[in-house]
Amino acid sequence: MVNCLASPQTRHRQGSSGFRRINFALFCAGLATFGTLYAAQGLLPSLSAALHLSPAGASLAVSVATGALAVGVLPLTALSETLGRTPVMTVSLFATAGLTLLLAVSPTFTVLLVLRALQGLALAGIQAVAMSYLVEEVHHDSLGFAMGLYVAGTAFGGMTGRLVGALVDDVAGWRWALAVVGVFALACAIAFNCTIVPSAGFQPRPPRVRESAGSIGRALSDTGLLGLFAVGLLLFSCFVTVYNYLGYRLLGPGFGLSRTVVGLIFVAYLAGSLASPFAGRLADRFGRPHVLCVTAVITLAGLALLATGSVAAVIVGLIITTGGFFAAHAVASGWVSARSATLGVQGPAVYVFCYYLGSSVGGTVGGLVYSAAGWPGVTDYTGAFLVAVLILAILLRRLRPAAPMAATP
């Protein structure tokens, strides 16, 4: 269950010193999380060439990490109830950095996959706890903006991991690329540890497996949360498919771009850093349902541009797709956190589980689609997910406010 012991008067508001420290620390955590998690995504064509793997086979370097992350979210959420939010996040960040450095010396692809799975479990400590930490420590009037800044950190991290990885890969190979990303992650972990504000809205307690299971069960019984869990799964299935296989398309016939140029194109990830806090502000002002509908339509428009044969149109389409996705994710995740706090359930943990399950399963299936039908098949595959998100967003506009549930004794 999400604890909310801090009163609204003691929680940090936008503009306060505590608010700035919290957001800087979680921005660093987001940088490290997505930087390490998706650096491998920019290296997939190199892994295919060096290790003689198909696109779907190479994509396992991404899928096993996101799958392990999904599996680790719920138990690590329960563990954070005992050990505390900030200790779990701190240990997770340092473990992630160490594992990234080990990836650079993997003797075989099998060993690399094992290390990536362990890395996914370590990253679960951040993804399982960050949203709950924000709900407990940030005033509800500033929560949308804070959530948007955190998601912006993940977006900037994803861009940095892909860009740095691609540039170093083109010069020195994929092993050095992973080593450099590992050093970057270590710097982020140190910055987080020096900046994060200790929890004031949380009180550690002994493990309560039955209560945690009951909390998850109540989250799964709420129609609104179920819809939002589906939104997260569908959004990330779409997004990770685009970023997993667009590099293959741009390196191949019809475009023939270099790895450095493809890496630079992924600077489009910056659109997510800008769109996330902006969407959070809009959600605080105009309501989450309306903003979620708009962001789903924007992402669909970006996918349409990605289907063209022009490099310029593909770049614009990638910017729009990335901005739309991160804006939608910021709105959905903030909505889950707020509704879960009202209901007193572990909604954020279930959302993160569904979100990364979409990445793991949806991204791997996307590779099979790409191998069988090329980019037109990817467009149809990802477009269907976004149409479903739009339908869910329209249905969620009719959702009634959550009524607080009594906690299970």
pLDDT at 393 over 80: yes
Within-domain flag for 211: no
CB contact at 8 A, 99 and 304: no
Give Rg (Cα) of the chain: 20
pLDDT-wise least confident of 34-43, 57-66, 214-223, 310-319? 214-223
Within-domain flag for 318: yes
pLDDT in tens, 248-263: 999 888 898 888 888 8
pLDDT over 90, % of the chain:
36
Task: Give CA separation, 176 vs 43, 100, 168, in Å.
Answer: 11, 11, 7
Within-domain flag for 36: yes
Structural domain tally of the chain? 1
Looking at residue 10, its pLDDT comes to: 65
Average pLDDT over residues 312-341: 89
Within-domain flag for 224: yes
pLDDT at 406 over 70: no
Within-domain flag for 5: no
Looking at residue 402, its pLDDT comes to: 57
CA distance 50 to 173: 10
Average pLDDT over residues 361-368: 91
Within-domain flag for 320: yes
* Tokens describing residue 111: 């060993």
* Tokens describing residue 348: 């954020």
* Tokens describing residue 121: 């479990």
Looking at residue 403, its pLDDT comes to: 53
pLDDT in tens, 99-138: 999 999 999 999 999 999 999 999 888 877 887 788 788 8
Task: Give CA separation, 244 vs 49, 215, 323, 401, in Å.
Answer: 15, 35, 17, 37
pLDDT in tens, 307-325: 998 999 999 999 999 999 9
pLDDT in tens, 266-290: 788 778 777 877 887 787 787 788 8
pTM above 0.95, yes or no: no
Looking at residue 198, the DSSP 8-state letter turns out to be P
Looking at residue 286, its pLDDT comes to: 78
Within-domain flag for 351: yes
Looking at residue 258, its pLDDT comes to: 85
Looking at residue 368, its pLDDT comes to: 92
How many other C-beta atoms are found inside a 10 Å radius of the C-beta of residue 54? 12
Looking at residue 207, its pLDDT comes to: 66
pLDDT in tens, 161-192: 888 888 898 888 899 999 999 999 999 999 99
pLDDT at 204 over 70: no
Domain containing 108: what range? 17-201+216-396
Given pLDDT bands bounded at 50, 70 and 90, which one contains residue 234?
A: very high
Output the furthest CA–CA distance in the chain (Å, rounded). 63
Cα dihedral sign for 201, 203, 207, 211? negative
CA distance 61 to 359: 12
Looking at residue 2, its pLDDT comes to: 42
pLDDT at 33 over 90: no
In DSSP terms, which residues pair with 138 in a beta bridge? 12
Instruction: Check which CATH number belongs to the domain holding 114 and give it.
Output: 1.20.1250.20
Within-domain flag for 2: no
Which of 216-225, 230-239, 330-339, 396-405 shows the highest mean pLDDT?
230-239
How many other C-beta atoms are found inside a 10 Å radius of the C-beta of residue 235? 28
Cα dihedral sign for 239, 241, 247, 252? negative
